[in-house]
Structure 1
Amino acid sequence: MRCGFCLPACPTFRETGVEPESPRGRIALMKAVADGLMDPDQAFQDQMNHCLGCRACEPVCPADVKYGQLIEQARDAIEDHAEHSAPVSGLRKLIFKGVFPHRSRLRLLGKSIAFYQKSGLRSLARGSGVMKLLPKSVREMERILPDASGQGVIERLGTVYPAKGEPIARVALFRGCVMDVLFAETNVNTVKLLSEAGFEVVIPREQACCGALHAHAGEMEQARDLARRNLEAFKDAGISYIVSNAGGCGALLVEYDHLLSEDPAYREPAREFSDRVIDVSRLLVERGRLPSFADEEANAANPVTITYQDSCHLRNVMRSSDAPRQLMKQVANVTFTEMCEADRCCGSAGIYNITQPEMAGQVLEHKMENARDTQARYLLTSNPGCLLQMKLGVEKHGNGSPMEVKHVVDFLYERIAGGGTSGKP
């Protein structure tokens, strides 16, 4: 089937109008390579790498084509034969093998970034001009990084956190890697919000990176290794759900069954694991004993306006777009304004905004036009990459707007009735 329903859903096709920049075009290229009609040359590799991986094509596909699986297989095949330069090869090895699979090294990374941010080194680096030696996309990301920490959610709360009142269920938090280094406070707020809603929360200490960045970059075997580690980490936790607060992580976690489908030892455990994965917003809406939420610096006569940017993977893979909106609409003294094309990718896409800055920038600029039109005081999202990208968008294209970008969980936890807008301890 070559119907073309995917074309208007695809961000890169909408930006370029070029068939090879669409899901349909990329699948045709994959088939041509598989049939031996063309070589997997640099042009082919570029088209595969231009894909954001947002998977907006999947919900609109009448044939239910699993495009996300196809693009990851293509990138995996590309990496099998790739001849990277020495610097690129070294950087990939450092990121995918040296840092992300190792929790202790992630903590060290967090401490190092925190030292850089708080010791004066950041001001020195910016003032001396040394930052100009880095690519523009890296410099832009450095400017909007949140305060990092070497103290993740386990170091702050322990591995078990009790429910407030009679427990509804025992759940596990998937703490992630980027989330626990750059957004540790969001992880903490997630646990406390779940507790307020009646859930006992456990945080398995041995859990690893989900493997999403590896899978998107064509490092599929490393992604499988990380998946196996996570299956082992969660298997004896005695839980009803595995809770994700990052759309990108959750989207791979729910597909561990596919990722390990060829591994007879882990096929069934992977299916059981994936069946229990749920986004925090959906769990709160469907099972939670929700507290009252209110923005106490506003009132019914002068409510604060908020809007929401969908995490592509949360919407298109986990199919959870209504739950975050339902939660936001329960906050007193708040008006929710739907952003035009809120389901369109922001251009973050893992590290796409660093590796493909031109296309990511075009996508972001159009996104910010719609964000500004909402005149919202807060722009909320459910994924760390989206959060950073939207912060960059406000800085570059906000035209002086006071708009603040927050994770949905942080916004809600700070507005538990009686807590005010400054946050809760």
Structure 2
Amino acid sequence: MTTVKEREQIQQQFKERMDEDELLNCMRCGFCLPTCPTYIESGFQESHSPRGRIAVMKAVVDGVIEPDEDVERSLNMCLGCRACEPVCPSGVNYGHLLEEARDIINQNKKHSLPVKALRKTVFEGLFPHQNRMRTLTGLMGFYQRSGLQSVVRSTGMMKLFPDSLSSMEKILPDIPTMKEMKNRPTYLPAQETVKKRVAFFSGCLMDTMFMKTNDSTMKLLQLAGCEIVIPPDQACCGALHGHSGEKSKAKELAKRNISAFEELQVDYIITNAGGCGAFLIDYDHLLKDETEWAERAKQFSAKLKDITSILVDLQFHIKKLSLPAQIITYQDSCHLRNVMKTSTEPRTLLKSINNIEYREMKNADQCCGSAGIYNIVESEMSMQILDTKMKSTKATEAKTIVTANPGCLLQMKLGIEREGLTGKVRAVHIADLLIEAVQYSDTSS
């Protein structure tokens, strides 16, 4: 519960910080409504639509309503998928409004001691420090390899945890060893004639829990004719901070990354996680009011490119790749599609693989319900969205679901688990599938 004083502070901050021109850009036309998963799954509640949330923000700015728990609930229920932005005829930057509103509320309300301690641990103590990320991930790897995981599962101990966490435990990827996570490259040569010099944004979770996918990505870049620089002093992208009301910490991470990449003399900065890429490409907005950083952020953002985009640019899809005969489908990463404007490239690559039948999923462009940590903090709505997504997935009869973001990958694996399809259907990152196709083509030729 927020106090009267906290609500007054929040309301004042809304008046001072929210972009009123952007709020007024919303014409209330309703084009966003069919694209919004929470609006649909909530039974068409206006407060859970982009149009409704903008109206709520404007009402707080105007002093018509107080920023109470209902306002915070409406904003927190949003996935932040930004599917409303491409269809908006006024071009409202809804994602920027949402992050600003969340930051204002978070910075002006008093959290309970347990919540405060948890946020401090996650946002300050863990994600900004890659060595600590490796240590935590290494403990998870020990849990998997030591036999402890089997003991915990066989004794039913996971039943003591919330369903969302016990389900997530089942679908974690195989964790690399500490030695593997520490022994990371800083430069890789092209394996063909050099066409581009690129830098690779390795990320925090991507270079620990999903390290195999990072390795696949760098291998693909080499095969496409890229020499690769991987700056060791890069940091977490800051997306989790920015989406969770920790804007100042997101800015700190943005500055660390800009400093790490700006002197590398590269053509592009490559990402392989839609969520990370979308936040990185928005650094120019994040730092637009800081004189020293605004132009540097703009130059950084201009070089961002997803792995699928550069592969198509370099004609990787005309290579003779093949896989065993199967039906595959693709689930869009919301941020890759809606913010980085990358949707045709993954499909071009998948359709180029011999022996596979590509089937487009109904509403593949709608969120799967992962949305960072949304599937943990808003589990009920997340699972409701996922169940709808799995109906569309099953209708394709695909045995392989391809994604382009780690959160989407885990969410689709969770959907497979919930539907009892484990061992019959799999979810895989597009970079890993393309490497499978390279290797299969080499062995079958």
Give the Å deviation of 1:252.
Answer: 0.5
1:118 to 119, 131, 145: 145
- Partner residue of 2:48? 21
Residue 414 of structure 2: aligned partner: 392
Matched, 1:149 2:176: yes
1:194-343 equivalences in 2 (<5 Å): 194-289=221-316, 292-296=319-323, 298=324, 303-343=325-365
Q: Partner of 2:38 in structure 1?
A: 12
Q: Any runs of at least 4 consecutive aligned residues in structure 1 with deviations exceeding 3 A, and if so which?
A: 127-130, 150-157, 288-291, 293-296, 398-401, 417-422
Classify 1:141/1:41 alpha carbon distance in 2 versus 1 (closer, same or farther; 3 Å).
same
Give the secondary-structure state (helix, strand or coil) at the position aligned to 1:210: coil
Q: 1:67 aligns with which of 83, 94, 118?
A: 94
Q: Is this contact kept in 2: 1:159–1:203, CA < 8 A?
A: yes
Change (3 A) 1:97 1:131: same
Q: Look up the match of 2:11.
A: none
Secondary structure of the corresponding residue to residue 338 of structure 1: coil
Q: Deviations over 1:303-356 (max 9, x none)?
A: 311100000000000010000000001111111100011001000000000000
| Worse-superposed segment, 78-87 or 184-193 | 78-87
Q: In the alignment, does 2:66 pair up with 1:39?
A: yes
Scaled by the length of structure 1, what TM-score is found? 0.95
Distance across 1 between alignment mates of 2:144 and 2:368: 26
- Structure 2 CA distance for partners of 1:13 and 1:420, relative to 1, 3 Å: farther
2:214 is equivalent to residue 192 of structure 1: no
- Provide the C-alpha distance between the structure 2 equivalents of 1:129 and 1:418, rounded to a whole number of angstroms: 39
Structure 2 contact 135–178 (Cα < 8 Å) conserved: no
Distance 2:142 2:441 in 1: 30
Task: Choose which of 161, 164, 171 in structure 1 pairs with 2:191.
Answer: 164
CA distance in 1, matches of 2:175, 2:37: 31
Q: Distance in 1 between matches of 2:384 and 2:114?
A: 27
Q: Which runs of 5+ in 1 are unaligned?
A: none
For 2:263 and 2:181, the matched residues in 1 are separated by: 18
- Alignment match, 1:412: 434
147-156 vs 391-400, greater mean Cα deviation: 147-156
Residue 134 of structure 1: CA displacement? Answer: 2.3
Amino acid at match of 1:273: F
Q: Tell me: CA distance 1:48–1:153, structure 2 relative to 1, closer, same or farther (3 Å).
A: farther
Q: In 2, distance between residues paired with 1:61 and 1:418?
A: 43
Q: Give the drift of 1:399.
A: 4.9
Q: Could you tell me how far 1:138 is from its partner in structure 2?
A: 1.4
Q: Secondary structure at the match of 2:199?
A: strand
Question: Contact (CA 8 Å) 1:50, 1:356: kept in 2 or not?
Answer: yes
Moved more, 120-129 or 86-95: 120-129
Check conservation: 2:269, 2:304, Cα contact below 8 A: yes
Secondary structure of 2:438 counterpart = coil
Q: CA deviation at 1:155?
A: 4.3
Indicate conservation of the 8 Å contact 1:179/1:384, yes or no: yes
Asked if the contact 1:153/1:188 (under 8 Å) is kept, the reply is no
Counterparts in 2 of 1:265 and 1:154: CA distance versus 1, 3 Å: farther
Q: Alpha-carbon deviations, 1:265-312, whole Å to 9, x = none?
A: 11111000000000000011013455734334x3xxxx3111000000
Task: Give the secondary-structure state (helix, strand or coil) at the position aligned to 2:54.
Answer: helix
Contact 2:181/2:207 (8 A) holds in 1: no
Q: Residue type of the partner of 1:7? A: L
Q: CA 1:399/1:113 → structure 2, altered by over 3 Å: closer, same or farther?
A: closer
- Report the CA distance between 1:66 and its aligned residue: 0.3
Structure 2 residue identity aligned to 1:109: L
Structure 1: how far apart are the matches of 2:200 and 2:233?
A: 12
Q: Secondary structure at the match of 1:304?
A: strand
Q: 1:415·1:421 contact (CA, 8 Å) conserved in 2? A: no
Distance 2:345 2:274 in 1: 13
CA shift at 1:400, angstroms? 6.1
Q: Find the counterpart in structure 2 of residue 136 from structure 1.
A: 163
Return the alpha-carbon distance in structure 2 between the equivalents of residues 289 and 344 of structure 1. 27
Which residue number corresponds to residue 52 of structure 1? 79
> Please, which runs of 5 or more residues in structure 2 have no aligned partner?
1-26
Alignment of 1:104 onto 2:131: yes
CA contact 1:167–1:198 (8 Å) conserved in 2: yes
1:95–1:157 distance in 2 versus 1, CA, 3 Å: closer
1:2 paired residue among 28, 34, 55: 28
Q: Distance in 1 between matches of 2:406 and 2:258?
A: 23
Query: Letter of the aligned partner of 1:306 in structure 2?
Result: I
Distance of 1:208 and 1:150 partners within structure 2: 21
Q: How big is the alpha-carbon RMSD for the aligned residues of Structure 1 and Structure 2? A: 1.8
Deviation at 1:414, TM superposition (A): 1.2
Look up the SS of the partner of 1:3 in the other structure.
coil
Aligned to 2:117: 90
- State, as a whole percentage, how many aligned pairs show the same letter: 50
